[in-house]
Amino acid sequence: MLQAEALSIRRGGRTVLEGVDLALQPGRVLGVLGPNGAGKSTLLGALSGELAPAQGHVRLHGQPLDEWSGSERARCLAVLPQSSTLSFGFRVEDVVAMGRLPHATGLLRDREIVEAALQAADAAHLHGRSYLALSGGERQRVHLARVLAQLWPGAEGQTLLLDEPTSMLDPLHQHSILQATRAFASQGAAVLVILHDLNLAARYCDRLLLLQDGRPQALGPPDEVLRPEPLKQVFGLDVLIQRHPEQGHPLIVVR
Amino acid sequence: MNPAIRPRSLFIALSLLLALALWGSLALGPVSLPLGDTLQAALRLLGLTLGGSELNQAQLIVGQIRMPRTLLGLAVGAVLALCGVAMQGLFRNPLADPGLIGVSSGAALGAAIAIVGGAAFGGIPEAIAPYLLSLCAFVGGLGVTALVYRLGRRDGQTSVVTMLLAGIALNALAFACIGLFTYLADDATLRTLTFWNLGSLNGASYARLWPLLLVTFAVAFWLPRRARALNALLLGESEARHLGFEVERLKRELVFCTALGVGAAVAAAGMIGFIGLVVPHLVRLLVGPDHRILLPASMLAGASLLLLADLAARLVLAPAELPIGIVTALIGAPFFLYLLMRGR
């Protein structure tokens, strides 16, 4: 289980994240919302061990993150960055197979897992293609398959951090990818996902964290967090909250 | 860029190519030797005697001239190709090359300082000269590699444009310093310096060979052990870290390894450009970018191509000889342009 206590991060002499207390829950999806520059990616960087905290701790299973060995940590914590800079022509399945590098499960098992992860990310039809020949959205799905493969099949004690996994996807895939993420979480893994679309967050997250200027403004179930006052305060948006006619989750309409 | 052929077929083809290059390098030249004589002479060097025919001339030519030269070409080609792969992996860019980003010229500058400095102090003793040259070339190469890497990085990202521009500046600076030494040098030192700048396998001796062979074995042994980490590094530094690799250590090791390999190659044979760029590219076109195959295949291909280029350098103007650096640049530079035009 991944846990942050009184976490603060300083970058370039400025405090960009302050006072974050957070515990990811097994089997649950936590959404992180906030305007540009609110510290969402910084939070993800701190939770994944990329950024050293100025104050506070990040613990994985009770042990500080920097005390973990690289490969042990990689077997229970996977991270999908916002964008990737891969500029070599690996085949799609080779990219996904890199998710298996921290493991020693053997070639055959790895191949099965790669196929299953590609299926989950709705990218199975890309098998055999060169990564460089893919569109931005297709690449994003391949990388999602890679981090899913890293933790496959997903179990309690594992953590998945996703930085805007839907930013380049068409509407259908925005939904199918978040559905896949939920299905993955239902195997027991804890998931944190940074999102920009309030309605996607309302539909697919169990809890939401609202960040503003590096400080947490609200943390709770979508019904509690997605109200007109906090959204006005954080995003400066005037919104109406309705109910989804079939699903019942909050539906945010800008006035 | 899907693999065009299976790795196994590639390794078979490359082994045949290397055998061909070895035969050409040992048998062809001002005096051409029949295959049988070449083989027997080579085996006698290893202490094996087959047949009793007199082979004095062949033995002399192969043993004293062509074998050290062939081994030198083999090692230089292999180590330059390996270091090219390491550089391209480190910078996550297929256009990075020890020559383009100034590593070779830094190493040559190190060697030039050793030569001219040594001459100023009355000459370096013969016994330590090859080792001292290798050391100075290594330090020069290491300095430039580290500098280019530092200059090319900002906010944890490696900017290729900055890196290439820094390479141009450092190349110019190194050449200016080498030019200065050339201006100050006496005639004997001048010849040595020119040799270093153009690159040549001429005058190979076993004494110059040992430090390079040692380094080549070390690099060829160590780099393939990092093939998986290099694959992960191509995804990005944080991605590699999230996959459990110690990226900072890996990068330090790659910089060190490249400086060592290129430094030793430059010290032994001068600046030979484009092998480190062209060879990994060709191999990647054939079997894809997986380092587990790319590294050994590039090593074989680099050794073969350098031996063939040396053969061309020896034969085109025979009995005169072209510096091999000119041959590789004549082939490599247009190839580099072609890669640029392919629109990466």
Tens digit of each residue's pLDDT (9 = 90 or more) over B276-323: 988 998 899 888 899 999 999 999 999 999 999 999 988 888 778 888
User: Residue B86, Cβ neighbours under 10 Å: how many?
Assistant: 29
Q: Above pLDDT 90, what percent of chain B? A: 29
State which fold the A2-254 domain adopts. Rossmann fold (3.40.50)
Q: Is the pLDDT of residue B344 over 50?
A: no
Per-residue 3-state assignment (H helix, E strand, C coil) for chain B: CCCCCCHHHHHHHHHHHHHHHHHHHHHCCCCCCCHHHHHHHHHHHCCCCCCCCCCHHHHHHHHHHHHHHHHHHHHHHHHHHHHHHHHHHHCCCCCCCCCCCCHHHHHHHHHHHHHHHHHHCCCCCCCCHHHHHHHHHHHHHHHHHHHHHHHHEECCEECHHHHHHHHHHHHHHHHHHHHHHHHHCCHHHHHHHHHHHHCCCCCCCHHHHHHHHHHHHHHHHHHHHHHHHHHHHHHCHHHHHHCCCCHHHHHHHHHHHHHHHHHHHHHHHCCCCCHHHHHHHHHHHHHCCCHHHHHHHHHHHHHHHHHHHHHHHHHCCCCCCCCHHHHHHHHHHHHHHHHHHCCC
CA distance B157 to chain A (A): 10
The DSSP call for residue A82 is: S
| Res B55: pLDDT | 62
Which residues in chain B are contacts of A84 at CB distance < 8 A?
Answer: 235-236, 239
Tens digit of each residue's pLDDT (9 = 90 or more) over A121-155: 999 999 999 999 999 999 999 999 999 999 988 88
Which residues in chain B are contacts of A163 at CB distance < 8 A?
Answer: none
User: Residue A135, Cβ neighbours under 10 Å: how many?
Assistant: 10
Percent of residues in chain A assigned helix, strand, coil, to nearest 5: 40, 30, 35
pLDDT (average), residues B149-172: 77
Q: Which of B61, A197, B282 is nearest to A208 (CA)?
A: A197
Which residues in chain A are contacts of B94 at CB distance < 8 A?
Answer: 87-88
| Res B6: pLDDT | 87
Which residues in chain A are contacts of B241 at CB distance < 8 A?
Answer: 49-50, 70
Contact B243/A at CB under 8 A:
yes
- Letter string b/e over residues A183-193, b meaning 16 or more CB atoms within 10 A of that residue's CB: ebbeeebbbbb
Q: Please count the residues of chain A.
A: 255
Confidence of residue B4 (pLDDT cuts 50, 70, 90): low
CA distance A183 to chain B (A): 22
> Which candidate from B2, B245, B344 shows the least CB-CB separation from A70?
B245
Find, in chain B, the residue whose alpha carbon is nearest to that of A160.
B242
> Which candidate from B157, B242, B344 shows the least CB-CB separation from A79?
B242
| Res B152: pLDDT | 78
pLDDT (average), residues B13-38: 87
Cβ distance B305 to B78 under 8 Å? Answer: no
> Which candidate from B3, B239, B244 shows the least CB-CB separation from A70?
B244
CB pairs under 8 A between A and B: 78
Which residues in chain B are contacts of A85 at CB distance < 8 A?
Answer: 92, 157, 236
Report if residue B55 sits inside a domain. Answer: no
The CATH number given to whatever domain includes residue B191 is 1.10.3470.10
Task: Give the residue ranges of chain A where pLDDT is below 70.
Answer: none
| Lowest-pLDDT range of B128-132, B261-265, B304-308, B324-328 | B128-132
Q: Which of B65, B42, B83, B81 is nearest to B304 (CA)?
A: B81
Report if residue B290 sits inside a domain. Answer: yes
Ranges of beta strands (E only) in chain A are 2-11, 14-23, 29-33, 55-60, 63-64, 77-80, 159-163, 190-194, 207-212, 215-220, 239-243, 250-254
CA distance B233 to chain A (A): 9
Domain span holding position B258: 7-13+67-339
| Res A206: pLDDT | 96
Q: How far apart are CA A187 and CA A180, in angstroms?
A: 11
Confidence of residue B52 (pLDDT cuts 50, 70, 90): low
Interface test with B, best of A83, A85, A150 (most B CBs within 10 A): A85
Report if residue B107 sits inside a domain. Answer: yes
More confident residue, B225 or B41: B225
Interface test with B, best of A66, A77, A88, A134 (most B CBs within 10 A): A88
Please judge whether B243 and A102 are an interchain contact, meaning their C-beta atoms are less than 8 angstroms apart.
Answer: yes
Confidence of residue B74 (pLDDT cuts 50, 70, 90): very high
Cβ distance A125 to A134 under 8 Å? Answer: no
Which residues in chain A are contacts of B243 at CB distance < 8 A?
Answer: 74, 98-99, 101-102, 150
Number of domains in chain B: 1
Residues contacting A190, CB < 8 A, separation 6+:
A1, A2, A24, A25, A26, A27, A28, A30, A158, A159, A160
| Lowest-pLDDT range of B87-91, B99-103, B153-157 | B153-157
> Which candidate from B93, B235, B289 shows the least CB-CB separation from A84?
B235
Confidence of residue B233 (pLDDT cuts 50, 70, 90): very high
- What is the domain partition of chain A in residue ranges? 2-254
How would you list the strands of the sheet with A14-23, edge to edge?
A: A14-23, A2-11, A55-60, A63-64
| Res B1: pLDDT | 43
The B residues from 177 to 236 touching A (CB cutoff 8 Å) are 228, 231-232, 234-236
Please judge whether B239 and A84 are an interchain contact, meaning their C-beta atoms are less than 8 angstroms apart.
Answer: yes
Please judge whether B2 and A89 are an interchain contact, meaning their C-beta atoms are less than 8 angstroms apart.
Answer: yes
Assign residue B244 a region: left if phi > 0, alpha if psi is -120 to 50, beta otherwise? left
Instruction: Give A242's strand partners.
Output: A251
| Res B158: pLDDT | 65
Please judge whether A101 and B243 are an interchain contact, meaning their C-beta atoms are less than 8 angstroms apart.
Answer: yes
| Res A91: pLDDT | 94
Assign residue A122 a region: left if phi > 0, alpha if psi is -120 to 50, beta otherwise? left
| Lowest-pLDDT range of A109-113, A226-230, B4-8, B227-231 | B4-8
Report if residue B344 sits inside a domain. Answer: no
Report if residue B31 sits inside a domain. Answer: no
| Res B157: pLDDT | 63
Report if residue B43 sits inside a domain. Answer: no
Q: Across all residues in chain B, what is the average pLDDT?
A: 84
